[in-house]
């Protein structure tokens, strides 16, 4: 997730990702309440449901990558994630049903901002190139032992 993080340091970007998932569930619930409760401005509830669902979908990132590779490169930048989440949270602060989700998404944006200032960067998992030394380590396997290890004969005191 991050590069050069030492033991005991906080990985802010990872925390922001977890906060974004929690925010999405709060946003979806608030959106449902906003639409079902016929709040004034219930259209924001529909926006909140769509934003919450899109924020939790892993497939969205794959679709973005395939169709908008330049946009995907920008989304990888934590400062731009801060801006994106900040813009997403603004409409949710206009009705009572979605204000908690908006505040939660604002918190997510602030954590992304801290991660950007700390110099963390997002790297996709599983796309690392294998070097020759890691390929040899992966190919090496241990065989199951055929005989039990030798044991000392029991002494008269143990019997």
Domain limits for position 90: 12-120
Residue 40 has a pLDDT of 87
Please check the confidence at residue 2 and state whether its pLDDT lies above 50.
Answer: no
**In the numeric block, which tokens belong to residue 22?**
């929690």
Residue 73 lies in a domain: yes
Whether this model's pTM surpasses 0.75: no
Residue 7 lies in a domain: no
How many domains, in total, are found in the chain? Answer: 1
Quote helix, strand, coil % in the chain, to nearest 5.
65, 0, 35
Residue 1 lies in a domain: no
Residue 148 lies in a domain: no
Q: Are 107 and 19 in contact (CB under 8 A)?
A: yes
Residue 140: CA count within 13 A, CB half-sphere:
6
pLDDT bucket at 77, cuts 50 / 70 / 90: confident
């Amino acid at each position: 997730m991050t590069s050069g993080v030492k033991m005991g340091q906080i990985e802010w970007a990872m925390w922001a990702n977890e906060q974004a998932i929690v925010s999405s569930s709060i946003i979806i619930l608030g959106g449902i309440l906003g639409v079902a409760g016929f709040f004034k401005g219930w259209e924001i509830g529909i926006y909140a449901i769509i934003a919450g669902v899109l924020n939790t979908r892993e497939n969205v990132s794959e679709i973005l990558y395939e169709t908008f590779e330049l946009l995907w490169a920008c989304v990888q930048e934590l400062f731009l994630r801060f801006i994106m989440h900040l813009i997403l949270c603004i409409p949710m602060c206009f009705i009572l049903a979605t204000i908690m989700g908006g505040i939660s998404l604002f918190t997510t944006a602030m954590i992304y901002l801290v991660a950007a200032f700390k110099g963390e960067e997002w790297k996709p998992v599983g796309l690392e190139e294998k070097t020759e030394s890691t390929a040899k380590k992966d190919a090496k396997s241990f065989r199951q032992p055929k005989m039990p290890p030798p044991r000392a004969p029991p002494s008269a005191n143990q019997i």
